[in-house]
Amino acid sequence: MTGSPLRAWLPDLIFADGVFESGLALVADSGGTILRLSEEAEDLAIAERLPGRAMLPGLVNVHSHAFQRVIRGRTEHRTSADRDTFWTWREAMYHAANAMTPENLYHAARMAFLEMMLSGITAVGEFHYVHQDLNVLRATLRAASEVGLRVRLLRTAYMRAGWKKEPNPGQARFLTADMARFFSDTDTLIAEGARVGVAPHSIRAVPIAAVREIAEYAEARDLPLHMHVSEQPAEVEACLAEYGRRPVQLLHDHGILKEGFTAIHAIHISEEEAAMLGGSTVCACPTSERNLGDGAVPADRLLAAGARICLGSDSNTQIDLLEDARELEYHLRMTKLERAVIETPRLFQAATESGAKSLMLPCGALEPGRAADFFTVDLNDLSIAGASRESLPAHIVFSLEKTALRDVCVAGNLVVRGGKHPLQEKIVAEFDELQSELWG
């Protein structure tokens, strides 16, 4: 491609319009925007060959708390509580949150973001509620930039421990001092060129009047609006006690549930609430939800109501968005005692295009006008070897292992080659030092 202002790649197979095609080069401009999928001789001549590989649009991880990467494996034991749940898990999470200096967060985020890229994720929504000053937020953005990951920083408001609850010392780093400061800091990040969104943490952490104020701010600036909703039964019970409404009902009554709104989890919802979410997006985080004992997202009911479903790695216990896609389906198979509840194309769409829409990012599909964000898989990897062109999408969604990942490209920059990131050894070594510092 020497001397050409264009960039092009030619894999054996390329996933476009829901099927795999051969003989096509993906051609992008110098800014990393896809111009065309081409079989023209001049485009094939300049293309970088990717033999033995299939190319797919980059995966979009809608919901991540990068700092929680440091507690992976350190909460998998019984505590002194009679019953271990999400609420006992939070105590270990608070320990990590309160140890997050900007430098610590930078190393934790780089590790999480590196792992994302090596699993085919090219974009992430970082739901960031560990506040100290803007330098903590900038550290996250710097980590994403160095790794090469596309990021939407979801600036989180967190105002209280809960209705009629005394402040929890463990949440001191989360608390938003006042709404004026929240908005001015967000404006500062926007002025600095950061891609941001806004996220009232949850109904228990943000009173509904403030949620409405944040929603109006987002709508005026065309920003994504994300919020934890009905993750735990206790949240539903508290909302009923405070407002006389379940969380989704309350948000509906206040006009929050619009196209730009994404409800994270939405597990403990009624049939009526599923219908209310029909014009919005729901982000399921199956690996994290099963790890925390949250429950299963009723994705079939939400899809039937017209909601979009996307996926997130959440607590980063494991980072594998295709695993999340298959677990979304497997949870339904276990509860409904039937198979193929959600068809393969919709599961892959949840990991790609639906996530891009939730984060308002220009990726999610390999088509002209979108960002040249993609990953490739080795067609001879043990996990998918023997797949036909027709069965390959199902092989990838239900069977692909990370060993198959070969290349990852963001905005036309091929960052991961042959399954290796250029900063991989450095990032892992520095993360190991951080873990020794935090845990001894």
Contact 117, 408 (CB under 8 A): yes
Q: Which of 265, 268, 331, 395 is catalytic?
A: 265
Contact 24, 88 (CB under 8 A): no
Q: 314 catalytic, yes or no?
A: yes
Q: Which of 43, 185, 294, 314 is catalytic?
A: 314
Token pair, residue 245, equals: 């409404």
User: Could you count the other beta carbons within 10 Å of the beta carbon of residue 334?
Assistant: 10
**What type of residue is 93?**
M
Contact 411, 371 (CB under 8 A): yes
Q: At what angle do helices 134-147 and 102-117 cross, to 10 degrees?
A: 30
Element (H, E) at 63: strand 59-64
Phi-psi region of 230 (alpha: psi -120 to 50; beta: other; left: phi over 0): left
CA distances from 273 to 163, 335, 369 (A): 22, 20, 35
Q: Quote the CA–CA distance of 184 and 33 in Å, as a whole number.
A: 32
Query: What are the b/e assignments for 358-386, b being 16+ CB within 10 Å?
Result: bbebbbbbbeeebbbbbbbbbbebebbee
Give alpha helix (H) positions in 75-207: 86-97, 102-117, 134-147, 179-191
Token pair, residue 19, equals: 């099927």
Q: Quote the CA–CA distance of 266 and 256 in Å, as a whole number.
A: 15
User: Could you count the other beta carbons within 10 Å of the beta carbon of residue 275?
Assistant: 18
End-to-end alpha-carbon separation of the chain, Å? 50
Contact 66, 108 (CB under 8 A): yes
The residue to which tokens 């939400």 are assigned: 302
Q: 12 catalytic, yes or no?
A: no
Contact 330, 323 (CB under 8 A): no
By CB atoms closer than 10 A (0-12, 13-18, 19+), residue 133 is: exposed
The residue to which tokens 């929890």 are assigned: 168
Catalytic center residues: 265, 314
